Structure 1
Amino acid sequence: MKKKKKSRGHHLHVQRKRRSRLQLSDLATNVLSSIVSRLSLRDAIRTSVLSRQWKHLWCDHPNLRFHLYMLERRRRRGSAPVTEHDLIALVNRVLQQHSDTGVDLLKVSCALHNEHAHHIDRWVKFAIASKTKAYLSTLGWPAGRPERYSFPCHLFGASNDDGSYLRCLQLSSVSLNLPAQGFNGFPNLTKLTMLDVKITDQHLECLLSKCSLLEFLGIACCTTLTTLRAICPLNRLKHLKVQDCRSVKNIEMNCGLITLKYSGPMVPLQFATTSSLRNVRINLFHINSTLRIFRRLSMISDNIAALDYITTGFPSTLQHLETLKFIYLRHLRLELNIFGGRKTDALDYAYLLDCAPSLEKLELHMCMQQCGHVPYREEHGELRSLPWHPHTHLKSVHITGFFGHKDQVELALHILRCSTMLEAMKIDCRVTIMPEDNHSLIYKTREYLDGYLVATAFVQAADQNNVVEVLGARKVFFTATDGSERFYFVS
């Protein structure tokens, strides 16, 4: 009897059936380990319950991040809150089971202090033994401000390999004291960040001298520092960020920066060279002032003396710099928080167009407090004009907080006159920035409407290329009872 020939469709069905039997567990162990390494640490540990094959796959996880949130999600409603002791137990348990190899990052985020030093020391030793590339310690301080944890720099001196694998180091709310001898430093460290770290000027200088490959240095809220100095050459240091170190009186670095971000009082800035400096962000405030003048800034800030600091004081601190020019600057965001007395003249900031000849986008956000609201009228006198030359790169301008004061009008007209390639200028009467310490400040609708009327009458009227758009208020037309068309303003 002749057998029936199986159809091609039957073979395809068998092939699909065979393919469906392929399981994830059939993959090689190294492939599975690679898959697990892409999960979060919490999810990677959970895979250990799947089977014996999966039980230890997570032990090679390269990114060890610990924070209380990992335990909060497991806490049942009504149970006791998660504490730092629970997180300490978790960290110790995980590190004990880890294979101790291939660790890229070890990060612990928890409010710990010197009482837990024996646990944290053990974690640092694990980072050294596992050749961790990034150690991030965001410890913070619990209530009551107990004694700070003293970071064990002495552990990085037992051999030449200690710390040599570390590329990134972030320390927060710790005390850092270098040993008198035997400290090898971090020869391959490229990024160092210190937040609220208690360290002396001498120890910081010594630390930097042992980080020859450093590319980024960030220091914030380190109140014990009075001088930030690096006499030894830091040829690879290109990015420096110093924020709210209110005791610092001088910054002297033997490097050539590309990016400088500084927030604090006016201090001398000295660098070996400024030929590569392209991105400067300065946020100036007075130490003894109860009002914090600025909230944030993208390049340059303003108070009564800040413009002088930009045009004369800041350049004078930079060796070999004769003229302040931001040749490579394309986008500038400037926040002017003008407080009381109207001693600041907005027209002075026309100088910034000369500073940045390649500027393409300018954002000018103003916030005026207790300045007296006097919108410009023709009887207030003729508008001033400054000497100017064409700016051939500026294409976009955005001004906010425009109340129609005379110097605001003069600045807007100067920008409009100089910018030969301008494609769009938006003038918004509404305030988009607020100081941190005055959230209750509310501007009246009248100020917005006056700004709208002045911007329309003097700036938009001078626009010959139809690029000016005035925002923040608008005309609403209606028909009166007598049949005539009238309008009113809404903001």
Structure 2
Amino acid sequence: MPMSAAARAACLSHSFLNSWRFHPNLTLNFKTLCPRTSRGNFRCKIDSILRNHLGTAKILKLNVADEDSTYPYIDRWLEVAVTPGIEELTLTLHKKYIFACSLLSDGVRDSIRCLELNLLQVIVCEAPNLSSIFLCGEIKLSLGEALTMKALLMRRPNVVCYARAQLPSIMPNLETMELGSDSEAVNIPMLPTKFLYLKHLTIQIAGGTFSPSYDYFFLVSFVDASPSLETLYLDVCQDDMAHESIIESSSPHLRQLPELSHDCLKSVKILGFNSAKSLVELTCCIVKAAVSLERLVLDTLRGGDDRCCGESNGKICWPVSNAVLKESARAAIAVRRYIEDKDSPTTTLTLVEPCTRCHSLAFG
């Protein structure tokens, strides 16, 4: 039963009210609590729900956005809801708020496994069983010995370089990592530190235009550092590719890492694949090193649900500029010239090019 319906039923039935007080999953936001009523009731509804709840929630998702009237009550609400036994806490705020670390008492630290706080400036947390965390913004992070941390999602400028340099020692047991940045100005270092248990890696450094000095090739540092890596998803979509194109390069020699060998990597997808020489070098290096590679997808556009798949079903592809289409054509040439003959017979290479139906109509 949806939470809003459960709350209404609790108002009408004393027996249901007793079960409602033990409801384990609380999602408190404007959409669920005030779909048809004015914003003036929002704070009162949250206050009433948490006042009548017995603090047994395992999952609490509280999103008050920019509702000024709610902020003086947040401390009280969290004191009621964040109790031993809670496993997931998501707090979404759009204004300044000081999160009380005292809320994470001994009992809470023992049970909580997922903590999601947006737009924080400093995090000091020593929850020993915390296994996943989502961080957004340039946050000063202190997690003690985060040995149980299995999943990390982090979005901030220069996060890719930060993650490679700092996280192996902070979170040595990561299994899943997703990094998002719209600004990467520093090339990734090649370091001896390892992500020994990392299996799934997503790197999104999509943006307008990257500096021509940014070297995609050094992303291979993550592959070298992750011997257990099975899937790699790389998003490098950009509006205008300013790097040196391998099609126009005066030096066709490709850099390699002959000592690199990888036994676990099975699936690689690069979204926004272009003809930048350093990106082609990275791809060739991965293909050559990953002896177990089964699937390689090179998508020269943005792909995904924005495509019509060439079918006349009323759906059209998301429009792209002439510059993106021209670069897509150069990327396809680079794939056929430098990558196609590098993959093994057991690897399925999929090259995704512009839709002939939609993009030919739009751009001739």
Same fold (TM over 0.5): yes
Distance change in 2, residues 1:205/1:404 (3 Å): same
Aligned to 2:64: 139
- Say whether the 8 Å CA contact 1:41–1:61 is kept in structure 2: no
2: distance between equivalents of 1:70 and 1:420?
Answer: 49
1: distance between equivalents of 2:247 and 2:77?
Answer: 70
Distance change in 2, residues 1:250/1:440 (3 Å): farther
2: distance between equivalents of 1:305 and 1:408?
Answer: 16
Q: Which ranges in structure 1 are unaligned for 5 or more consecutive residues?
A: 1-37, 50-54, 74-80, 89-109, 157-162, 170-185, 285-291, 294-302, 313-322, 434-438, 476-489
Larger Rg: 1
Equivalent residues in 2 for 1:408-447, closer than 5 Å: 408-432=279-303, 442=321, 443-447=323-327
Please report how far the alpha carbon of residue 122 of structure 1 lies from its aligned counterpart in structure 2 after TM superposition: 5.1
* Of 37, 61, 71, the match for 1:82: 37
Asked if residue 229 in structure 1 is aligned to residue 109 in structure 2, the reply is no
- 3-state DSSP of counterpart to 2:233: strand
- Say whether the 8 Å CA contact 1:375–1:454 is kept in structure 2: no
Please report how far the alpha carbon of residue 472 of structure 1 lies from its aligned counterpart in structure 2 after TM superposition: 0.6
Asked if residue 388 in structure 1 is aligned to residue 259 in structure 2, the reply is yes
1: distance between equivalents of 2:242 and 2:218?
Answer: 19
Aligned to 1:241: 134
Please report how far the alpha carbon of residue 474 of structure 1 lies from its aligned counterpart in structure 2 after TM superposition: 9.2
- 3-state DSSP of counterpart to 2:257: coil
Distance change in 2, residues 1:469/1:255 (3 Å): closer
* Of 172, 176, 182, the match for 1:279: 176
* Of 266, 276, 284, the match for 1:405: 276
Please report how far the alpha carbon of residue 353 of structure 1 lies from its aligned counterpart in structure 2 after TM superposition: 1.8
2: distance between equivalents of 1:403 and 1:218?
Answer: 34
- Say whether the 8 Å CA contact 2:235–2:272 is kept in structure 1: yes
After superposition, what is the alpha-carbon deviation per residue over 1:392-449, rounded to whole angstroms, capped at 9, x for unaligned? 222222223222222222222212211222223222222349xxxxx99734422211
After superposition, what is the alpha-carbon deviation per residue over 1:242-277, rounded to whole angstroms, capped at 9, x for unaligned? 223x5x444343543323333335689799964433
* Of 215, 222, 229, the match for 1:345: 215
Percent of aligned pairs with the same residue?
A: 18
Counterpart of 1:364, as a letter, is L
Counterpart of 1:451, as a letter, is A
Aligned to 1:218: 116
Asked if residue 358 in structure 1 is aligned to residue 239 in structure 2, the reply is no
Aligned to 2:74: 151
Distance change in 2, residues 1:399/1:69 (3 Å): closer
Counterpart of 1:151, as a letter, is I
After superposition, what is the alpha-carbon deviation per residue over 1:260-299, rounded to whole angstroms, capped at 9, x for unaligned? 3333356897999644333333435xxxxxxx54xxxxxx
Please report how far the alpha carbon of residue 386 of structure 1 lies from its aligned counterpart in structure 2 after TM superposition: 2.4
- Say whether the 8 Å CA contact 2:297–2:349 is kept in structure 1: yes
Instruction: Calculate the TM-score normalised by the size of structure 1.
Output: 0.54
Counterpart of 2:116, as a letter, is G
- 3-state DSSP of counterpart to 2:73: strand
Asked if residue 329 in structure 1 is aligned to residue 329 in structure 2, the reply is no
- Say whether the 8 Å CA contact 2:256–2:285 is kept in structure 1: yes
Distance change in 2, residues 1:141/1:59 (3 Å): same
* Of 155, 163, 185, the match for 1:263: 155
- 3-state DSSP of counterpart to 1:241: strand
Instruction: Calculate the TM-score normalised by the size of structure 2.
Output: 0.70
1: distance between equivalents of 2:103 and 2:168?
Answer: 18
2: distance between equivalents of 1:414 and 1:423?
Answer: 15
Counterpart of 2:65, as a letter, is G
- 3-state DSSP of counterpart to 2:194: coil
Asked if residue 453 in structure 1 is aligned to residue 333 in structure 2, the reply is yes
2: distance between equivalents of 1:473 and 1:122?
Answer: 54
After superposition, what is the alpha-carbon deviation per residue over 1:309-351, rounded to whole angstroms, capped at 9, x for unaligned? xx56xxxxxxxxxx43222222322223363431111211222
After superposition, what is the alpha-carbon deviation per residue over 1:100-140, rounded to whole angstroms, capped at 9, x for unaligned? xxxxxxxxxx3x3xxx5xx765544322xx45435554333
- Say whether the 8 Å CA contact 2:178–2:202 is kept in structure 1: no
- 3-state DSSP of counterpart to 2:219: helix
- 3-state DSSP of counterpart to 1:447: helix
- Say whether the 8 Å CA contact 1:400–1:428 is kept in structure 2: yes
Question: Which structure's relative contact order is higher, taking Cα pairs within 8 Å and 6+ residues apart?
Answer: 2
- 3-state DSSP of counterpart to 1:337: coil
- Say whether the 8 Å CA contact 1:357–1:393 is kept in structure 2: yes
Structure having the larger proportion of residues in helix: 2
Counterpart of 2:337, as a letter, is A
2: distance between equivalents of 1:271 and 1:349?
Answer: 15
- 3-state DSSP of counterpart to 2:134: strand
2: distance between equivalents of 1:420 and 1:335?
Answer: 25
2: distance between equivalents of 1:335 and 1:269?
Answer: 18
1: distance between equivalents of 2:127 and 2:236?
Answer: 38
Aligned to 1:125: 51
- Say whether the 8 Å CA contact 1:346–1:411 is kept in structure 2: yes
- Say whether the 8 Å CA contact 2:178–2:201 is kept in structure 1: no
2: distance between equivalents of 1:450 and 1:270?
Answer: 36
- 3-state DSSP of counterpart to 2:133: strand
- 3-state DSSP of counterpart to 1:347: helix
- Say whether the 8 Å CA contact 1:392–1:419 is kept in structure 2: yes
